[in-house]
Structure 1
Amino acid sequence: MDLALLRTFVTVHRAGSFTRAAALLGLSQPAVTSQIRALERQLGRPLFLRQARGVTPTTIGDELAHKAAPHLDALVEIAGTGLDDESSLRTLHLAGPPEFTAERALPALVALTGDAGPGFALRASFGNAEEVLEGLAAGHHDLALSTARPRGPLLTATPLCDEEHVLVAAPHWAERIGPGSPRRMGASALENLPVVEVHESLPFVSRYWASVFDARPAAAGTVVVPDLRAVLTCAVTGAGIAVLPRYLCAAALERGEIVALYEPAVPPLRTYFLVARAGTLAMPHIARAHTWLQRAAADWC
């Protein structure tokens, strides 16, 4: 049986689509279709059911993928190990949200790529969860950091860490509402305060309000900036209240530039996942980065 046909088959099985598999393999969609048909002729059985959106494996297709995929991944690992020497610098492409990637992941990986590191170059790009997962599925990235867990066999997700969210504001806003007001009065204590957010839909404030106050925020965003680091800067300068990840605002809290308006017994959390395409963790440079980020994340929680 032709290994090239098996490789194409496993890629289609994981991608759930001839079109997406073609992009991952660097082939045309007709070429992928032709290879799958050739493999089906060799086996005398259909491997996929064609549907309006993608393909679904048949029983025999699932059985073949289960048997073949580990061996193909092992071959990829052997090939990658053979190339992974001092004369061959591999490049790791990482994608994720700008703040978490810049403040957490990149410092950890830059330390890994130093003089004592494994010898891979690093490229990073930023985007929201949908963008980075689509880019990963299309083969543009090697690893992605996402707050959404992907579905399907193409992408594999590992929980990385939980991010605690804190309701903060400059000290004069805390004085205005009075100490302990949110605990006693709930969301009504905050109704007339300006809000700083990353989007008009108030994703962080809305999530916090729903989790802590079982309510929806009454105010619209007064200042909207598409970066949590800018939200922090605006909060420090007194633009309004904001909900921020604790890791991002911990130093400002310690310096007294902002204060936590409320410390609920169970703070809102958001989980980050480290995501890779199925089979690619057999490649040594991706596997090392994946392991290193997991180790570093033990200190982020």
Structure 2
Amino acid sequence: MTDLDLLATFLEIYRSGSLTAAASRRGLTQPAVSGQLARLESSVGEPLFVRGGRGVTPTPRADDLARRVGPHLDQLRSALDPNPALAGVVRIGGAAEFMTARGLPALTPLTQRGVRFEVTLGLAADLLTALRDARLDLVLSSVRPGVGFTATPFADEEFLLVGAPVLARTISPAVLADDPVRALEHLPLVAYSAELPIVRRYWRSEFGRRPPNPVGVLVPDLRAVLAAVVAGAGVSALPRYLAEPALAAGSVELLHHPEAPPLNTLYLVTRGPLSPAADATVTHLRSRDWGAL
């Protein structure tokens, strides 16, 4: 009886047209692949490939063998593989900052299983409207949607109040401990929009009131907010996953140390039945250990 490993190697050579490519896919050396092919050719009693300068060409006997064993080997792989291949397109939406820093890297294992992603970046309200209109399959939302959607919490963003070292040195530690709003009120704010959504949430959560600070920069991208903060244009509240590299580099400092940093829950939002690929995406993202965001 022919060894299944020999047939698996044969099929990789047949499908790739190259012993080198087959060796890479099988995790073997090229001499090992050549040896397995020689054993299989000895077993069937005739050559299976014609060697050439640009790879190998299958013989009629190889065509017949691939046609006979290919489907069965593929089914066997699927039965034994805990992460079977998937097919299909998933239309997914999320905030540009989160998708760039965390979302897209987290989807890589699914692309390796055959899922293709079409990504839309934007604000939560716009993305949820697109989901409602069936223009998206899944939204990673920083806002809990209303009725008509299925929303599952999957991670929490942790917000940090940061500023450049030159601005941090203007804060009196004594006043900060006694009256943080007064200690910070001279610092200009860098914010995402005129409503100061993240900064206002931080002040209300930690200090019980809106920030009285002047606004120095408004820019609708948290990565640009961070760049302005690093440059010394003002201070801001940012998700840990964006601020942490700058903190590690010393280009910004923590301006306030709350007992429990303010959090914002992120949701996996769907609507209606899901395709197998979309369902696998939801399961993958829910099971992931996101750590501190």
By the TM > 0.5 criterion, same fold?
Answer: yes
Report how far residue 219 of structure 1 moved: 2.4
- In the alignment, what sits opposite 1:126? 121
Deviations 1:120-160 (A, max 9, x none): 211111121111111111101111011222222x3101001
CA RMSD after TM alignment: 1.8
Task: Give 2:220's match in structure 1, choosing from 213, 218, 226.
Answer: 226
Selected match of 1:285 from 277, 280, 284: 277
Alignment partner of 1:109 is 2:107 = yes
CA distance change for structure 1 residues 110 and 300 in 2, over 3 Å: closer, same or farther? farther
Instruction: Say whether residues 1:295 and 2:293 are aligned partners.
Output: no
Please list every run of 5 or more consecutive structure 1 residues that lacks an aligned counterpart in the other structure. Answer: 1-84
Structure 2 residues not aligned, in runs of 5+: 1-83
Shift, 1:194, TM fit: 1.1
* Counterparts of 2:290 and 2:102, CA distance in 1: 12
Which string of whole-angstrom CA distances, capped at 9 and with x for unpartnered residues, describes residues 207-261 of structure 1? 1110000111112421111100111111111111111001111111111110000
Q: Percentage identity across aligned positions?
A: 40
The residue type paired with residue 144 of structure 1 is V
**Residue correspondence of structure 1 range 253-264 to structure 2 within 5 A:** 253-264=247-258
The match for 1:65 is: none
1:175 alignment counterpart: 169
Question: Does residue 274 of structure 1 match 2:274?
Answer: no
Larger radius of gyration: 2
The answer as to whether partners of 1:180 and 1:262 remain within 8 angstroms in 2 is no
Secondary structure (helix, strand or coil) at the match of 2:169 reads helix
- Could you list the structure 1 runs, at least 4 aligned residues long, displaced by more than 4 angstroms after superposition: none
Q: What TM-score results when the alignment is normalised by the length of structure 2? A: 0.68
- Distance across 2 between alignment mates of 1:273 and 1:136: 13
| Aligned position for 2:94 | 96
- Aligned residue for 1:95, secondary structure, equals strand
Deviation at 1:89, TM superposition (A): 4.3
Corresponding residue for residue 244 of structure 1: 238
Q: Match of 1:192, SS?
A: coil
Take 2:110 and 2:165, find their aligned partners in 1: how far apart are those partners? 39
CA offsets 1:5-43 (integer angstroms, 9 cap, x no match): xxxxxxxxxxxxxxxxxxxxxxxxxxxxxxxxxxxxxxx
Shift of 1:110: 2.5
Q: TM-score, normalised by structure 1?
A: 0.66
Give the conservation status (yes or no) of the 8 Å contact 2:157–2:265. yes
- Indicate if the aligned counterparts of 1:160 and 1:297 stay in contact, CA closer than 8 A: no
Answer yes or no: is 1:192 the counterpart of 2:186. yes
Q: Could you tell me how far 1:176 is from its partner in structure 2?
A: 0.9
Report the Cα offset of residue 98 of structure 1: 1.1
Counterpart of 1:265? 259
Q: Distance in 1 between matches of 2:177 and 2:250?
A: 21
Corresponding residue SS for 1:238: coil
Q: Give me the whole-angstrom Cα distance separating, in 1, the residues matched to 2:214 and 2:287.
A: 40
- Number of corresponding residues: 210
> Could you tell me how far apart the structure 2 residues matched to 1:249 and 1:286 are?
31
SS at 2:154 equivalent: strand
Residues of 1 paired with 2:168 and 2:121: CA distance?
Answer: 34
State the match for 1:43 in structure 2: none
Aligned letter for 1:134?
T
- Whether contact under 8 Å (1:183, 1:262) holds in the other structure is no
Residue 202 of structure 2 is matched in structure 1 by 208
SS of residue in 2 equivalent to 1:285: helix
In 2 relative to 1, CA 231–131 (structure 1 residues): closer, same or farther, beyond 3 Å?
Answer: same
- Matches of 2:191 and 2:219, distance apart in 1: 6
C-alpha spacing 1:248/1:93, structure 2 compared with 1 (3 Å): same
Partner of 2:151: 157
